[in-house]
Amino acid sequence: MTQLDSSLRRPGPDGPAGGGPRPTQSSRSGQPVKTRRRGSRLIRWLPYLLLLPAVVFELAVHVLPIIVGVAMSFFTITQFQIRKWWEAPFAGFDNFTVVLDFSGPAGAGLLRSFVVTVVYTVIVMAASWTIAVAASVFLQRSFPGRNLMRALFLIPYALPAYAGIIVWRFILQQQNGMLNHVLVDQLGVFADKPYWLLGDNSLVALIVVNVWKYWPFAFLIITAGMQSIPTELYEAAALDGAGAWRRFRSVTLPLLSPVNRTLLLILFLWTFNDFSTPYILFGRSAPPAADLISIHIYNRSFETWNFGLGSAMSVLLVVFLLVCTAGFAAFTRWRDRRA
């Protein structure tokens, strides 16, 4: 507070912006606030000026490139025209027809990648959320070492993504990896050491690594959400004879739903668009079984240098994500109204 006091005691206005804009609170709290006319034009523009840097950066790095990306999906681009792609032949909806022709190679590849991504996303989200809820519930009661355990659980999320994934790559090696050492040498689950980073097992590997990487975030958010649930509610439920499971179903889950809503949406966008895990785990060529959509588009784009085709795939991906997000929002609103 001393810092604050000294700043308040500092004398005199000094900028041309002296005098306040009408603060939003003054009307709400009804406290009399001296407003001055001086510099009122600047004041009107001040909120916009403050937003300006954020808007400029967002426009430059997100909005403009997104518009360009959508435009590119209507051109047939070769590696010779990349720098001046707008001079490439206009293709109309050709790229989209090629990409959506599921009997052709491009369409079949995209469809396969999409299915893999959906399966992977559903499993990663369900597993991450379940583990996070279990950990949060079981850490509600205080015991020695609880804070240590909480901190430990958060480390995979805090770790720079590539550090965590590189360790998994080391662990999942076929010959000398830790996992096969445990499964084959120590437990004898398999007769031969399976490959985890090749073939169909790579999807399992991808799911396990991403659950490891993403569940701590869900844990962080759900733990915070649970802490805001008043303990009296649990006590009242217990007095009514509700057991642990019943208390969880009737108190914890319903009160977590606003937190869950945002959490699940964020988890969905993260896992569905994930690029770094397959990119680091498998190297440049992700096995077909773990060919996530982002990796698929990235590789197709740089393989053929036809960024028009890649952009068309990206645009379809965005449409899908928008539909999912809108559908999710509509669903939660509908459920709110029913409740």
Residues 253-312 that bind another protein (CB under 8 A): 258-259, 261-263, 269, 272-273, 275-276, 279-280, 283-284, 293-294, 297-298, 301, 307, 310-311
Answer yes or no: are the C-beta atoms of 73 and 95 closer than 8 Å: yes
Q: Rule CB under 8 A: is residue 72 a binding residue for another protein?
A: yes
Site for another protein in 166-205 (CB under 8 A): 166-171, 175-178, 180-181, 185
Does the protein bind another protein through residue 229 (CB under 8 A)? no
Piece in contact with another protein (CB under 8 A), picked from 91-99, 100-108, 196-204, 232-240: 232-240
Longest CA–CA span in the chain (Å) reads 84
Residue 51 contacts another protein per CB under 8 A: yes
CA distance 187 to 199: 23
| Identity of the residue, 1 or 103, whose beta carbon is nearer to another protein in the bound complex | 1
Give the residue, chosen from 75, 114, 196, 212, that forms a contact with another protein under the rule CB under 8 A: 212
CB of 72 to another protein, least distance (A): 7
Binding another protein by CB under 8 A: which of 162, 190, 331, 334?
Answer: 162
Give whichever of 48 and 103 is closer to another protein, judged by the CB atom.
48
Q: Return the number of the residue (203 or 297) whose C-beta is nearest another protein.
A: 297
Distance CA 220, CA 50 (A): 32
Q: Are 120 and 207 in contact (CB under 8 A)?
A: yes
3-state secondary structure of 19: coil
Total site size for another protein, rule CB under 8 A: 124
Residues 6+ apart with CB under 8 A from 255: 225, 229, 233
Nearest Cα neighbor of 203 from 276, 120, 262, 316 is 120
Q: Is 323 in the site for another protein (CB under 8 A)?
A: no
- 93-110 per-residue burial string, b: 16 or more CB within 10 A, e: under 16: ebbbebbbeeeeebbebb
- Does residue 31 bind another protein (CB under 8 A)? yes
Contact with another protein (CB under 8 A) among 30, 37, 41, 50: 50
Whichever of 103 and 185 has its CB closer to another protein, that residue is: 185
Kindly tell me which of 111 and 238 has the beta carbon lying closer to another protein: 238
Query: 200: alpha, beta or left, given left = phi > 0 and alpha = psi -120 to 50?
Result: alpha
Q: Using the rule CB under 8 A, which residue among 109, 194, 216, 278 binds another protein?
A: 216
Q: What is the CA radius of gyration of the chain?
A: 27
Subset of 101-160 contacting another protein (CB under 8 A): 131, 134-135, 138-139, 141, 149, 151-160
Which ranges of 187-305 does DSSP label H, i.e. alpha helix? 201-227, 231-239, 244-247, 253-272, 276-282, 293-304
Q: Out of 30, 37, 48, 338, point to the residue binding another protein (CB under 8 A).
A: 48
For residue 157, how many C-alpha atoms fall within 13 Å in the half-sphere facing its CB?
18
State which residue, 196 or 307, has the beta carbon closest to another protein. 307
